[in-house]
Amino acid sequence: MSAIRFSQVSKRYPNGHDALRTVDFELDSGEMAFLTGHSGAGKSTLLKLLTLVERPSRGEVWVGDQNLATMDRRRIPGYRQSLGVVYQNHRLLSDRTVFQNIALPLQIAGYSDDDIGRRVRAALDRVGLLSAESANPLALSGGEQQRIGIARAIVHKPRLLIADEPTGNLDPRLSLDIMQLFEQFNRIGTTVLIATHDVALIKRMKHRVLILDKGRMRHV
Amino acid sequence: MSNAQKSPSRKQPNRGASGHRITRADRLKRWMARHRYEARDALTRLLQMPASALMTLSMLAVALAVPGFLLTLLINFEQLTPTTELKPQLAVYLKPATDAKRVDQISREMLLRDDLLSVELISPDTGAADFRERSELGGLLELFETNPLPAVILLVPRDEDPASLQTMQQSLFAIEEVDTVELDIEWLVRLAAILNSFERISVILSLLLALTVLLVVANTIRTMIGNRLEEIEVSLLMGATSRWVRRPFLYAGLWYGLFGALLSIVLIYLALILVESPLREMTELYLGAFELQGLGFQGVVSVLALGSVLGWGGAYLAVSRQLTQFEPQ
Ligand SMILES: Nc1ncnc2c1ncn2[C@@H]1O[C@H](COP(=O)(O)OP(=O)(O)OP(=O)(O)O)[C@@H](O)[C@H]1O
Ligand SMILES: [Mg+2]
């Protein structure tokens, strides 16, 4: 079964701008793919449809067996709890420790405190930052912050991992590190979709590439 | 997509939950732990910013103290005025020359009027007997050849408002045999009227101030939300429900309301101490012994409950308004 299926998806913003025009594509379960295209091509818009921050104007967006275009509002929280999302500016909360940041999705999903402790440390271990547990995110380097953001996205073992420009603020070496981290999660079965500008990096990685051009999907 | 494909993953939409079974008791325990945590966290945050929090609390305390104070005064006034004695009575004194037959006729005519609740005739003889019995000066009556006491008719009118009592007094004067008409509890009626308008003003004022409490809390929480927008947005993106997002702010509102109410109770007692002695002087002059009552247990509980409910409600208003901006379009 495909993990993600876009069927004739268009998105027109309230101001009349067409960000996506009849986009069709499928991503298999366990696949890893890059989403690229010029600035304003619609990459973030496409990911926002997947996180249900936006709804499509036309067409269907399927994630697993759920059609996001018509999903009831009350089911959005449950759906979002099943996703892992990484942001370009990592969006860590600066009024709490690294541990508390990573614990947040687990608390929201209702895990017990013991469980949370174990899972947060396991996630920190996976991104190689076990010692940063009680640090404030502001005290970490850009690359470390992004790793914490990734730890937070994978702490609940999501089936689907989405990232919007996860390496946008990092130098090439750190970017490669981060991408290899995503590859690790993909190797254990997680479906991964990453939006990025970084063509050089994409070429090194040998994964499927989806290209958006003025809101249309170019199939390669 | 076929139904056969749908069912397995619907049962397990959250992969993280695999190998992590939650019983109902567990869920309840976690839910309560969550609430305890949020309540404590909201309290800590409130205590961490004493300057602005104190400002809000004083506003709430004043807004809650005024209705609480008025309510206490009302309870005190009501205890002052026993209802049966408040019934205004008219004493109609007939001219001494009126003969017994005519007196009888007049009182019977009054019995027929339906604007009177009761009519009681005290004939000169009954009056004299009463006088002899009750007064040490009863012997004085023996000095007179004929009974000097006039016939008196005591009336309890149906209408108690001062205006109609006065009209009735006038109309009774118009009867030829009537000497005087006394409305000696007139002032009590006036007091009742004053109390009545005082009660009404208190109710209106209380409603306005309750609204003030609601708005003050809503405004405070709005600022608080503004400072935590990133946290709210990130939580929602991770699948927090609106209930989850609302919870810390509802607790903050609850604490504000409760502490505001506690402070207001202190203010109410201070105000009562200030008015106690002048009030006692005034009432003892007219009504005898008077003991000023405080809010009482029930009053204290009511003010605390009112403060908490308004605080919670104000916070709910503020959060609900903000949450709509995060809905998907
Ligand atoms: N909320 C919005 N309202 C109106 N127009 C929007 C909105 N969000 C995005 N757009 C427009 O839609 C188009 C696609 O935006 P999007 O953010 O998806 O591009 P992108 O491919 O992610 O670009 P970048 O590489 O710069 O991040 C842009 O022209 C943008 O101006
Ligand atoms: Mg973008």
| Higher pLDDT among residues B239 and B194, named by residue | B239
Q: What region, left, alpha or beta, does residue A16 occupy, with left being phi > 0 and alpha being psi -120 to 50 degrees?
A: left
A78 lines ligand 1 (CB under 6 A): no
What distance in Å separates the CA atoms of residue B221 and residue B317, rounded to the nearest whole number? 9
DSSP secondary-structure letter at B149? P
The Cα of B26 is separated from the nearest Cα of chain A by a number of Å equal to: 9
For residue B1, the model assigns a pLDDT of: 37
* pLDDT top residue among B33 and A107: A107
Q: Does the CB atom of residue A42 touch ligand 1 within 6 A?
A: yes
Q: What tens digit of pLDDT does each residue of B135-146 get?
A: 767 677 777 777
Asked if A129 contacts A144 with a C-beta cutoff of 8 angstroms, the reply is: yes
Q: Which of residues 155-184 of A touch B (CB under 8 A)?
A: 155-159
Using one digit for the tens of pLDDT, what is the confidence trace for B260-296? 999 999 999 999 888 888 877 777 666 666 677 888 8
Q: Which domains occur in chain B, in start order?
A: 30-81+190-326 (no CATH), 90-184 (3.30.70.3040)
Residue of A nearest to B4 (CA): A65
Contacts of A91 in chain B (CB under 8 A): 230, 234, 237
Question: Which contiguous run of DSSP H or E holds residue B194?
Answer: helix B186-227
Determine whether the shortest distance from the Cβ of A88 to ligand 1 is under 6 A: no
Mutate to test the pocket of ligand 1, among A9, A10, A13, A39 (most ligand atoms within 8 A of CB): A13
**Tens of pLDDT along B200-253?**
998 999 999 999 999 999 999 999 898 889 999 999 999 999 999 999 999 999
Which pLDDT score, from 0 to 100, does residue B42 have? 85
Q: Tell me whether residues A109 and B239 touch, CB distance under 8 A.
A: yes
Query: Best of A26, A57, A80 to disrupt the B interface by mutation (most B CBs within 10 Å)?
Result: A80
Predicted TM-score (pTM) of this structure? 0.73
What are the phi and psi torsion angles at B5 (to 5°)? -75, -25
Mutate-to-test residue for ligand 1 from A10, A45, A88, highest number of ligand atoms within 8 A of CB: A45
Q: Taking CA atoms, what residue in A is nearest to B230?
A: A93
Neighbour count for residue B291 (Cβ, 10 Å):
9
Please tell me the predicted confidence (pLDDT) of residue B324. Answer: 83
Dihedral Cα B230, B233, B237, B243, nearest 10 deg: 130
Quick one: pLDDT at residue A220?
A: 61
Which candidate, B308, B309, B94, B85, places its Cα nearest to that of B181? B94
- Could you tell me which residue, A149 or B88, shows the higher pLDDT? A149
Phi-psi region of B131 (alpha: psi -120 to 50; beta: other; left: phi over 0): alpha
ipTM for the whole predicted complex goes beyond 0.90: yes
Among partner residues B27, B231, B329, which is closest to A93 by beta-carbon distance? B231
Looking from the CA of residue A165, the nearest atom of ligand 1 is: 27
Q: Which of A65, A78, A158 sits opposite B15 (nearest CB)?
A: A158
C-alpha B326/C-alpha A52 separation (Å) is 11
CA of A43 to the centre of ligand 2 (A): 6
pLDDT of residue B3: 40
Determine the pLDDT at residue B83.
Answer: 45
